[in-house]
Structures are given as C-alpha cells and as structure tokens.
Structure 1
Amino acid sequence: MPSGRDSLSNPIPERGTVVEVFLVFLKLGVSSFGGPIAHLGYYRNELVVRRKWLDETTYADLVALCQFLPGPASSQAGFSLGVLRGNGLLGGLAAWFAFTMPSAVIMFAFAMGAASFTGPVAEGFLHGLKLVAVAVVAQAIWGMACSLTPDRPRAAIALAAVAVVVTFAGSIAQIAAIALGACAGLWLCRGEAPPVSGHLNFPVTRLSGGIALLLFAALLLLTPVLAAASGSHTIAMFDAFYRSGALVFGGGHVVLPLLQAQVVSPGWVSNETFLAGYGLAQAVPGPLFTFAAYLGAVMNSPPNGLAGAAIALVALLLPGMLLVYGMLPFWDAMRARPAAQAALRGTNAAVVGILGAALYSPVWTSAVMSGRDFALALAGFLLLTVWKLPSWVVVVLLAAAGTLSPFV
C-alpha cells in the first residue's frame, strides 16, 4: 500500500510554521476582493495550486464543511487551513488574524472619520453607498436563489420564510424561519445524496472538538441570561453579535438582516449609518464580517470606538470559528447522513427568503427615494450580474454618482 495514503483517507499534508501561515494569509487578506465565493477561489489558487499545501479532494471536503455550518464560510475555511498547515489552533488563529485585520482596520478607520464627514457632498457619498447595498444584496439573492431554490419545494420554503419574517419582525422571526426551513427540508428535500469519499486529516482531537462545541453552546445560551441579569450593555452587545454570527447560514450577506435586527431596532446604530457602512464593506478586501468592526465603533453608547470594534468583531466571528474547529473531527460521519443534507437544503432555502425580505426592508426602503435612485441601483445590479464587474468597482461608481448628485 503506498505510503502517506490508504484506501479510506486523503494524504496527510505537510505541516508548516505559524509564521508562514500568518504571512501567506496576510497577503490574501490585503488582496482578496469579491466576497466569500471569490475568497475560496483565491485560497484554491494560492494554497492548492501554487503552494500545494493540500490536494483538491481535501480542499473540497473542507469547503463542504464550511458551507454546511453557520458562519462566514471563507473565514472558516481560512481558519481551518491555518489549523491544517500550522499544526493546530495557533495556526488557525494566525490565519484568522492575518486575513481579517486588513479590512477590519479599514472599516474602523472609516467609522472614526464618519462623524466629521458632513455636508451635501458627504451625504451624497453615503447615499451612494446605500445604493451599493441595494445592488449587492439583490445580486446575492439572485445567485443564491438560482443555486439554493432550484425546485418547487425549496422555492416554497423560501416564500414561507419571507412570510414569517415580514409578519413577525425581529431576530426571533429570523431564527424561527431558519428552524422551520430545516424541518421542512427533512420532509420535502430528501433526494439522492452526492457521493462521499475520503477523510479530513486535521490535527484536532475529538476531545478538543467537543470542548469547542460545548463552548459554542454555552456562550449562545448563557450570554442572553447574563445580559438580562446584569443590565450590562457590554454583555448585551457581545450577545447580539455572537447570536448573529451563530445563525448566519448561506454566506456573509445574510448577516445583514440579522445585524440590522440586533443593532438598529434597539437604537444602538441608526439605519443610515448601518447601510453606509455595509455599502463600504463591499469595497474592501477580506471577509464581509469585518462590517462588525465598523458597527462596534459607531455605537451610540459605550463600549464604542476601538473597544466596541474589538468586541463586535470577535463576537461575530467567534461562533463560526468554534463550530468549524469543533466539527473537524466529526465531519466525516455527519456529511454522509441524508437527513443532515436534507435539513441543510431546507435551511439554505429559508436563508434566501430571509435575505429577500431584507432587500425590501431595510435596504430598499432606506436607499431608493426617487426614480434616479432606482436607476442607479439597477445599474449597479446589472454591472455586477451581467458585466461581472468586481464589487469594489461598483462601489466606486455608485459612490461617485451619489457624491455628484448635489451638483446635478
């Protein structure tokens, strides 16, 4: 039998150093534009094709795991690749920090300068960013609907999710829509499962994975109780971002309605400020979840500034990292079960409906105020979907159009 490989497992990849992992992911963090799907392509080109850290089968298995779990898929994949190459948790943390910090610093800097950015030109620029949000969310819904609701049962689940979210506003309605989607998937979405082969050879023991999963559950269940008992805004803020990160199925854009319910509804951040930051987040490299650094910095009450940015960023990303680290040693058994795959299909369909409801409110209702706004938002959508322009180019064009509007 050949060395390094058996009939049931992929080859064990060569290990590197934590410093190597940090430097490679820092390069990716400053150059990876285009959102989570593009990030996965950057990872493949840099780490599978160019550096040969792992083979195609192992990479495909890893991507499947990150797409199965809630959380930011590209950040989870990067963290897991750091665990693999850096031989453990330190490697994962090095990859996470290096990939996340460049865009987080940009978003924090924008938040700090936003208060002094006033006047008609500034208002036009920020309005242009809100129109970017309309175009980007519409593009996300279009792409997700094509891949995640390709048949009548899943389209029905998406429509039911829209009905739940618009009828019962708030984060509880979104959680209920996801749960109902999973249940409906078990009933309506069973079908022929794709073939499963190979094993994920990651340096994570079942004990370490179990501890990570327990910590994930403990934080999800206990922080709301602690926030209510203590009355602490800091704990309430951590809980809001952590819960949002724990429930994001289907990609980074789905965090928009979850965070909007958590920070805009209670008055922590104004809707205009929220959408302006979300629009800018499309123009920076790295994960969309660094939008949390902006939100934490612009909070109306302490902790805000640097402390608020750090709390919000860590809280939003932490559940996804705990889940993927905890699932690495258990994924082989889970991914082969038809029931798990059916539930995931239903969950993903519900996510399309939740994002569709968010496109109307707050995105559309806060940004499209005139026929000119509609034309600009439509142009942005077509530039993204038909002309396939990078999102940062669309950000520049619509922000410029908004900036020039006071003079037109």
Structure 2
Amino acid sequence: MNQPIWRRWLEIWLVSTKLGFTSFGGPIAHLGYFQHEYVQKRNWLDQKSYADLIALCQFLPGPASSQVGISIGIIRGGVIGGVISWLGFTMPSVLILMIAASFLTGHNVEQEGIISGLKIVAVAVVAQAVLGMGKTLTPDRPRLAIGIGSSVVLLVWPYTFVQIGVILFAALLGIFMYRQVSAEEESELPIVKWKGGAIISLSLFFVLLAALPLLSWKFSSTWFDMMDTFYRAGAIVFGGGHVVLPILQQEVVPHLLSKEHFLAGYGAAQAVPGPLFTFSSYIGTVVKGWSGGLVATLAIFLPSFLLVMGVLPFWNGIRRNKNVRGALLGVNASVVGILLASLYDPVFVSAVSNGHDFALALICFGLLVYWKVPSWVVVILGVAGRFILNYT
C-alpha cells in the first residue's frame, strides 16, 4: 500500500481486466477466481477479510461477485479504485453481448435456430443454478419451506410487486426463526471510515429508486423507462444474475423486446465471462442500439456502487446484528424459490416444445452439472444441437 496511488489504480485495472476476460462459470466461480487472484496470489487482503466481504455482498441486493470486486477495488484504491475494478471486470462481457445483440437483431435468427438453441441452454443453466443454490441456501426444512412457498406464490401470482412482497415476508420469517443462531467470532474489515460519503451514497440510492418511476411516468420516454427498469432491477434483486431474469422478463417483455430475443440473450450471456448482470447490455442494445446498451448497463450496476459505498463503512457493526443475520437467511431461501418459479416460466415453457427439445436440455444440464463442461462450451453445443435437430 506504500506505492503511489496511480500505480495501484493501474494494477487494479490490469488484474480486473484479466479476470473480466477469463472468469467464466457464473457468480460462484467468479468468487473462486477472485480468491485465487486477490487473496492467494497478490495478498491484497487475508482470507477472513475476503470471506467477510462475501458476506457483505450477499447481504446487499445486486450482483454479489461484482460487488465483491468493487469492494476490493475500494479497499485497495479508494472509490476510483472501485470504479476501475468494476470497469475491468465488466466491460469485456458488455462489449461481447452488445455485439451479439447487434448480430441477433440484424439476422433472421429464428429460422437459423440460434435463438431456440440459446433458449434450451438457458433451461439447463437456470436448472443448474436452482440445484446449486438450493443445496447452499435451503439446507434445512424451514428454509426449504420458505423456498417452496416463495415459488408457489410466484407461480400463482407472477407479478413484480408480489416478488418484492415475497422477499420482505421471507426476511421477517428469517428474523423470527434464525435470529438466535450463533455466529463465529469475526475480525474487523480494513475499511476507511468515510461515513459522510457513505450517507450521501445511500441517500442517492433511495432518491433514484423513488424518482425514476416518477420521471418515467411523467415523460413517457423509452429512455426513462429503461433507466427505471434496470435501476430498479439492480436495486431489489437478491441472489445474483440468475434471479434478475424474472424481474427483467416481466418488465421488458413484450413491450420492449420479444420473449424469443430475451431468452436468446440470456442464453448468450452464459457463453461470455464476467457478471450475468451484463445481460442488461444485450437488452438495451436490442431496444436502443449501442447507446441503449450503455445506459442499461450503467443503470443496473449503479445501485451496486451506491450500496457498496454506502454500507461498507458501517458493515463491521451491521453484521453483528442478529436480526440482520436472520433476515438474510430467510431472503436467501426465498431466492431459491424465485429462481425455481422462473425456471418454469418463462424459461422452460418458452424453450421446450417437444421431446427433442427436452432431450437436448437434459444433455446440456448433464454436461454442466455432472461433467463440469464450461458454460461457454455448452452454449456452443446447445446451438449446434438445435441446428442438427432442425434437419432431422
């Protein structure tokens, strides 16, 4: 930490950009890449502090792996370091998905089989996420009941406001059932106490959350609609990139883009490194070109910045609160149910129309879960398999 600040910024940029080009496999895999690069290889922070950062980012809504990267950048190089860390990790997948969106909207991809292949891959990817998150976040019967109950409610009433209510109710159940759960002794995170800036960040987070829907209603503009939709998605989604799927689907389909292009983009997002929230870059590009892609990207990630900068200085105290711990356990369980509901609709019902489609989805699922084939390889195989099915 004795080196000049510009050298630290340059180092953050080089390391995060390398991770942005090589971190395949989703949020859990990203945390493994971070642990190897930032903790083991460079010793920017110790293992316990890294685990504490993960706990913080799981507590906050938004893309957990991106928030961990932002937090490490802030600890290493201040707020500018956090911005640099985010840019390096995020921009590679943003650019790739914007190019993919330009291609998919400029070609007759429905007839070519690209979209149907990507939709089938999305079935396997979301099923893998449900399975993996379920093992971790619903390990006992009470949390399993919260997860199943959340899924049932959303399958019967598939509305955004119902999803928010489910999350809040799960938090209350978690406080009631788990606030007495004991925690391990925890060390202090090495965080600069810039509490004035933190309060400004949190205030701006809530002001934008309230103001953007009003601006969207007042001006009836696609641009304000996009900023409102993506900012709200980034502000209320717990559980990472996969869980943003049902919220965005309800918000943008069909009035901004078709369900086919939506699920094709979600499938394409599995083939690129970096955070799944860059799926927003694809949607924005389909709707409003490259400028739309950039606006959607900034809007969905801005809440993460504001929350990390707002909560990080206070986290050492917050995480000792038993009610917070209990609420987090309940919310995480509901996330599994939300994702399970989205696996059925829109993912499964839109992708699988016959036995051939289901067979290809099963093959992709098996390759992902049991043969540990990289997701980008499965995407290629899924699209190729759909081409073959078209001619059999």
Structure 2 CA distance for partners of 1:167 and 1:13, relative to 1, 3 Å: farther
Q: How far apart are the structure 1 equivalents of 2:240 and 2:74?
A: 22
Q: How far apart are the structure 2 equivalents of 1:196 and 1:209?
A: 26
- From 364, 368, 376, the counterpart of 1:384: 368
Q: How far apart are the structure 1 equivalents of 2:57 and 2:42?
A: 21
Superposed CA offset, 1:209-231 (max 9, x none)? 11111111111111112211222
The aligned amino acid for 1:332 is N
Q: How far apart are the structure 1 equivalents of 2:357 and 2:221?
A: 40
Residue 151 of structure 2 corresponds to residue 162 of structure 1 = yes
Superposed CA offset, 1:197-216 (max 9, x none)? 21111235111111111111
* Most deviating of 274-283 and 232-241: 232-241
* Most deviating of 178-187 and 274-283: 178-187
Q: How far apart are the structure 2 equivalents of 1:378 and 1:13?
A: 53
Q: How far apart are the structure 1 equivalents of 2:215 and 2:240?
A: 29
- From 120, 126, 131, the counterpart of 2:115: 126
Residue 355 of structure 2 corresponds to residue 366 of structure 1 = no
Residue 212 of structure 2 corresponds to residue 223 of structure 1 = yes
Structure 1, gaps ≥5 residues long: 1-11
- Give the structure with the larger helix fraction: 2
Residue 186 of structure 2 corresponds to residue 202 of structure 1 = no
Residue 329 of structure 2 corresponds to residue 341 of structure 1 = no
Superposed CA offset, 1:362-384 (max 9, x none)? 00000001101111111111111
Give the TM-score taking structure 1 as reference length: 0.92
SS where residue 115 of structure 1 aligns?
Answer: helix
- From 201, 211, 234, the counterpart of 1:212: 201
Q: How far apart are the structure 2 equivalents of 1:286 and 1:350?
A: 25
SS where residue 17 of structure 1 aligns?
Answer: helix
SS where residue 330 of structure 1 aligns?
Answer: helix
Residue 54 of structure 2 corresponds to residue 70 of structure 1 = no
- From 275, 285, 297, the counterpart of 1:297: 285
Q: Mapping of 1:1-400 within 5 angstroms?
A: 17-86=8-77, 88-118=78-108, 122=112, 124-265=113-254, 267-299=255-287, 304-400=288-384
The answer (yes or no) to whether the contact 2:110–2:116 under 8 Å persists in 1 is no
Structure 2, gaps ≥5 residues long: none
The answer (yes or no) to whether the contact 1:79–1:93 under 8 Å persists in 2 is yes
Q: How far apart are the structure 1 equivalents of 2:80 and 2:197?
A: 13
* Most deviating of 201-210 and 347-356: 201-210
Deviation at 1:115, TM superposition (A): 2.3
Q: How far apart are the structure 1 equivalents of 2:264 and 2:340?
A: 19
Question: Paired residue for 2:387?
Answer: 403
Share of identical aligned residues, percent? 49
Give the TM-score taking structure 2 as reference length: 0.96
Q: How far apart are the structure 1 equivalents of 2:274 and 2:139?
A: 29
The number of equivalent residue pairs is: 390
List structure 1 segments (4+ residues) > 4 angstroms apart after TM superposition: 12-16
Q: How far apart are the structure 1 equivalents of 2:198 and 2:273?
A: 30
RMSD, aligned α-carbons: 1.6
Superposed CA offset, 1:105-127 (max 9, x none)? 000001111123226762x2221
Superposed CA offset, 1:346-401 (max 9, x none)? 11111111111101100000000110111111111111111122111211111110
The answer (yes or no) to whether the contact 2:146–2:330 under 8 Å persists in 1 is yes
Structure 2 CA distance for partners of 1:330 and 1:13, relative to 1, 3 Å: farther
Deviation at 1:129, TM superposition (A): 0.6
Structure 2 CA distance for partners of 1:256 and 1:119, relative to 1, 3 Å: closer
* Most deviating of 240-249 and 164-173: 164-173
